[in-house]
Amino acid sequence: MFTLPESKINDFFKLIASKEDLYIPVDNNSGKADFTAWKEGVELSKALKTVRSAKDFFFPKAENLVNLRMEGKHVEVEDPRKDLKDFVVFGVRACDAKSFEIVDAVYLHMDPVDSYYKNRRDHGTVITLACTDPAKTCFCAAYKIDAAVPGGDVSAWLCDGTFYFEANTDKGKALLESAKSLFAEGSDDKVKKQQEETRKKCAATPFANLDLSKWKGKDMLKIFNSPMWEKLSESCLGCGTCTYVCPTCMCFDIRDFDAGENGVKQFRCWDSCMYSDFTQMAAANPRLTQKERFRQRFMHKLVYYPMAHEDNWQCVGCGRCLENCPIHMNIVKVVKTYNEMPADGGNAQ
C-alpha cells in the first residue's frame, strides 16, 4: 500500500494537475464543500461530503450534445465529445462511488449505450476517500455499502496524518504508478483499524438499520395503491431539490436553441420527476397531481429500479435529501411510513 504524508498531498495534486484536470472538494462561502478545479493555493476540504455529488462529472447538469450549422441545403454537424480531456476526481465518498454503478447500469449496460456518459466515464479517474465520521443523516449501511472501503479507481484513507492509497483498476494503477516517486510503501495496519472504527460508527447511525424488507417487486401494486402517498405528498412543494442533490437521479430533457448565424445547439439538462411538466406530452400529462409525481420518485428508487436491476436499490443513503429538503420529506420517512402500515398496505376498504 502506498503512503504519503498529509502535508505533501498538494505535491500529489500538483503532479496530477500537470497532466490532466483535477477536481477536489473545497470549502465554499457557505461553509459547505463543492468539487472545484485544483490549482496552487486551493486546499482540500475536510467536509464529509459535497453539496452535489461527483455524478456531475459524468452526467453534468447541462451538456451540449451536438452543434448544427446550415449553409443553404448543407448541414454541418459538429460533435462536442471530441473536446473532452482526461480528468481526475479526488475525495469521492463510498456512497457517491456506489452511485456510479447505479447510473452505469442504465447508461452503460443497457441498449442503447449513452455514448456521452460513456465518453466521460472513459476519460475520468475516480480517487475515493474513506469516511471516518459519518453524519446522523448518513444511512449507507442500510444498503450494505461499506464506507470504510470506498472503491473507485483508487481508494484512499487518511489515518493519523498519512494518506494510504490502493489501486482497484488499471486506470488507478497507472495513476499511482505515475506518482510513485512521491510515495513510500507502508503497512495497512492503521487502515484496518480505522475501517473497524468507521464500520462501528456507521452501524450506530440513526437509520443504519432502516427496514427495507417490505419494499419488494411482488408487492408493487399494494405499495402503489397505498393511501400513504396522498398524505405524504400533501406537504411536498414539488421544488425538485431532492432530485438535484441526489447522486442516483438520472432523468433529463433535451432542448434545441438558436445559436445565431444559421446555427442550432442541441443540449440536454437535468429534469425532475417532481415537476408538473416532467411527463407533459402533446396529447396529455399522465401525472397530473403532486401525489402521482411524488409516488413516482420513490417507487422508482425502491421498487421499479430494483425489479429491473437484480434487486439493487436506486439509493445509496448519502443523506443529501434529508439535509436539503425544505419541508423535511425524504426517502427515510417514506420507507418508515409504509413499514408502519398494516399488512395490506392500508388498502383495506
At 219-231, the pLDDT tens digits run 999 999 999 999 9
Q: What's the average model confidence in pLDDT over 52-76?
A: 92
Whether the pLDDT of residue 288 is over 80: the answer is yes
What is the average pLDDT value for the chain, to the nearest integer? 94
What are the grid coordinates assigned to 63, written together?
451538456
CA distance 87 to 99: 19
Q: What's the average model confidence in pLDDT over 155-166?
A: 97
Cα–Cα separations (whole angstroms), residue 12 to 58, 59, 76, 175, 299: 23, 26, 43, 11, 43
Whether the pLDDT of residue 172 is over 60: the answer is yes
Task: Give backbone dihedrals phi and psi of 334, rounded to 5 degrees, phi first.
Answer: -65, -45
Do residues 240 and 246 touch, judged by C-beta distance below 8 A? Answer: no
Whether the pLDDT of residue 349 is over 70: the answer is no
Cα–Cα separations (whole angstroms), residue 138 to 145, 201, 309, 319: 11, 10, 23, 5
Whether the pLDDT of residue 132 is over 60: the answer is yes
Range of lowest pLDDT (162-171, 230-239, 275-284): 275-284
CA distance 221 to 228: 13
Q: What is the pLDDT of residue 186?
A: 93
CA distance 179 to 125: 14
Whether the pLDDT of residue 282 is over 60: the answer is yes
Whether the pLDDT of residue 15 is over 90: the answer is yes
Q: 64: buried, middle or exposed (CB in 10 Å: 19+, 13-18, 0-12)?
A: middle
Q: What is the pLDDT of residue 70?
A: 86
Q: What is the pLDDT of residue 343?
A: 75
Neighbours of 66 (CB within 10 A): 15
Read off the pLDDT band of 278 (50, 70, 90).
Answer: confident
Q: What is the pLDDT of residue 81?
A: 83
The residue extents of the domains of the chain are 2-203, 217-339
Q: What is the pLDDT of residue 257?
A: 87
CA distance 235 to 233: 5
Read off the pLDDT band of 99 (50, 70, 90).
Answer: very high
Read off the pLDDT band of 348 (50, 70, 90).
Answer: low
